Amino acid sequence: MTERRRASAEKTRPSAFWPAAAIVVPGTGWFARIEIEGGEHLPIEGPYVLAPNHYSEFDPVIIAVATWRLGRAPRFMAKESLFKVPVLGAILRATGMVPVARASSASAAKQTLEQSRALVADRRGVIVYPEGSLTRDPDLWPMRGKTGAVRLALSAETPIPVIPVATWGVQEILPRYGKLRFWPPRRRVRVLLGPPVDLSAFTGTVPGTLAAATDVVMRDISALLGELRGETPPAALWNPAQHGQKETGRLDS
């Protein structure tokens, strides 16, 4: 059940999100009956990085609607090239989506720093999928994460909170690499947010630090998913490199 919360200024102020929400929210209501727990962990105001698990092409829609219902505007990281597409690029910019760098490491680091400063200055949040693509784990547990979420959070002068979140039930609407199921409608989908990940032991953005911090984030996401599923998460995260599976459709780096 969703807690009643006041909406943030970014939701109540007229923006490009309003017409999008008028279409997406009721449309999603046909497919899913979204139940949100732990919504108090998402700050009403100020910057944040929301880090969800990813096991269906439809779960970004669920996360977007849940974020909107909790009073914040859902902004995702998107491939930089998409901002150059006519019309689509204008929509991405109008809604404040965050471009993902695909250039050299130095250029990417500079862009990440600028993005962190912008999030803090504008008091905005962003949704980052740490796995970068749909999980390859056969049982849909989170797989090994990429460092984009923690790199963005730790790049700020005052670290931005990373909020772990898990969803479950979306696979009944759109199975991983499957087809969208229109019937029966309003399938139960649960969304569970946890408290900000404790990253106090990590400072700086060197590769080793980022990898270790990402492991902590992924463990918290896995624990939340375990609560939703009523199961114990695997002791070790699925590693696509070790299992010989190529990663495609990346959302993060």
Average pLDDT over residues 86-111: 76
Residue 249 pLDDT greater than 60, yes or no: no
The residue among 111, 35, 45 whose CA lies nearest residue 77 is 111
Lowest-pLDDT choice from 16-20, 47-51, 52-56, 67-71: 16-20
Per-residue HEC secondary structure of the chain comes to CCCCCCCCHHHHCCCCHHHHHHHHHHHHHHHEEEEEECHHHCCCCCCEEEEECCCCCCHHHHHHHHHHHCCCCCCEEEEHHHHHCCCHHHHHHHCCCEEECCCCHHHHHHHHHHHHHHHHHHCCEEECCCCCCCCCCCCCCCECCCCHHHHHHHCCCCCCCEEEEEEECHHHCCCCCCCCCCCCCCEEEEEEECCCCCCCCCCCCCHHHHHHHHHHHHHHHHHHHHHHHCCCCCCCCECCCCCCCCCCCCCCC
128-187 residue pLDDT tens: 999 989 999 999 999 999 998 999 999 888 889 999 999 999 999 999 999 999 999 999
Residue 48 pLDDT greater than 70, yes or no: yes
Residue 36 pLDDT greater than 80, yes or no: yes
Q: What are the domain boundaries of the chain?
A: 46-74+116-229
pTM (two decimals): 0.90
End-to-end CA distance of the chain: 33
Confidence of residue 114 (pLDDT cuts 50, 70, 90): confident
Give the class (CATH, top level) of 46-74+116-229. alpha beta
Quick one: CA torsion of 30, 31, 33, 34, rounded to 10 degrees?
-120
Q: Which residue matches tokens 């999980």?
A: 135
Calpha distance 173→181 (Å, rounded): 5
Calpha distance 70→157 (Å, rounded): 27
Q: Please give the single-letter amino acid code of residue 230.
A: G
Q: Which residue matches tokens 């490199």?
A: 241
